[in-house]
Amino acid sequence: MQTSLAMKSLLSHQRKITQMMARRMMEPCDVFLNHRSPDTKRTVATLLYDNLKRHGFNPFLDEKNMKPGDKLFEKINGGVMESKIGVAVFSPRYCESYFCLHELALLTALKKKVIPIFCDVKPSQLRVVKNAKWSEEELRRFRWALDEAKNTVGLTFNSSKGNFSKFVTNASNIIIESMTELQNEEKMKCLPSTKLQNEEKMKYLPSRV
């Protein structure tokens, strides 16, 4: 009898966890982690993902958010469009990846805030080279998006000298701070115009002593 009750309790607990995870997967992503998998998935990208998850955010990382049967471009494009912020983790061979450049171009075209992380590479070393498989229009979009990112203040990390844990904690804090600022801006936009006008008028009223 006790064994049966314990089994029922365990199954109920597992069911709740499954339901909670399913709900979490249905929530829109707020941070899109753009990276070249062979270079940074097992280091910066995954550590960032785990750290942001622990802080209650819902980041998009292809390996974590995609499952067999998903349409590749549909899932990636959806993640980019849902997100509030993009984090571009640049690495020495980043520009060889069509998907990296496609995601970056889409983030930029949608005017998402992009936080660049230059991992083992300098901005000046990043360039889109001609690829016979890519159209001229794609090359133009990719170069434009890359130039925008290179001219944005970002973070730099040297994996041979730096501390991954310390760097990821610092990067996560910056991402969280940016998310908080965006959320506050959205709240301000939702305030009724009359309330905003009254708050603006109050600035110019003389203070009572």
Question: Is 103 annotated as catalytic?
Answer: yes
Query: Which string of b and e fits 46-84 if b means at least 16 CB within 10 Å?
Result: bbbbebbeeeebbbbbbeebeeeeeeeeeebebbbeebb
CA angle 77, 78, 79 (to 5 degrees): 90
Is 39 exposed, middle or buried (CB count within 10 Å of its CB: 0-12, 13-18, 19+)?
buried
- Residue among 103, 148, 177, 181 flagged as catalytic: 103
Q: Do 36 and 95 contact (CB within 8 A), yes or no?
A: no
Q: Which amino acid is at 53?
A: K
Q: Which residues contact 88 (CB under 8 A, 6 or more apart)?
A: 34, 35, 104, 107, 114, 115, 116, 117, 149
Strands 31-35 and 85-90, bridge-based pairing: parallel
Query: Which residues are part of the catalytic machinery?
Result: 103
